Amino acid sequence: SISKEEEDKERKKLEDDLGDNIIVDTVPEGLVLRLGEILFDTDSYNLKSESKETIDNIINAIKKNYPDREIIVQGHTDNTGREDYNKTLSERRAKTVADYILPNLNHDKLSYSGFGDKEPIAPNDTAEGRRKNRRVAVSYTTLRAHETKATIVCRLLLEKHK
């Protein structure tokens, strides 16, 4: 895993490299790139052609700076519509982005999931809040692609007992 200072430095570098279309957040598992609704039309999981450049920038950042990191793609929706519909839509959007990214990685450590409206980042009672909640997030974990959490725990325990 990496230190807080290294993580902050990585976040700042990504913000500079990726521009204004992507919000970079730090979470316990690593870094999250929040792409918002720029990727899809309403009620669609077909990637907008103009969004491909944004995802290509992310792919280039992955290949340049994080070639051995696990990548997680998560889809989210606002709370309008039926719960089961939102869940399916969020999964399909996450899969669309994952399918676009995967052929460009040098490993296959990529997963995706959809959460529907279960993990909002803003209140759903305003148009602005709902807009923020319609998003896809791409996460870089602090794990290397060949490591698992169990591997890191074992390594840390061994280092502690040396």
pTM of the predicted model as reported, rounded to 2 decimal places? 0.79
Residue 118 has pLDDT above 90, yes or no: yes
Residue 19 has pLDDT above 80, yes or no: no
* CA pair distance 12, 59, nearest whole angstrom: 17
Local confidence band at 161 (pLDDT 50, 70, 90 cut-offs): low
Instruction: Note the pLDDT tens digit of each residue in 60-98.
Output: 888 888 788 889 999 999 999 999 999 999 999 999 999
Q: Which amino acid, one-letter code, is at 87?
A: K
What six digits make up the tokens of 94?
Answer: 């996450």
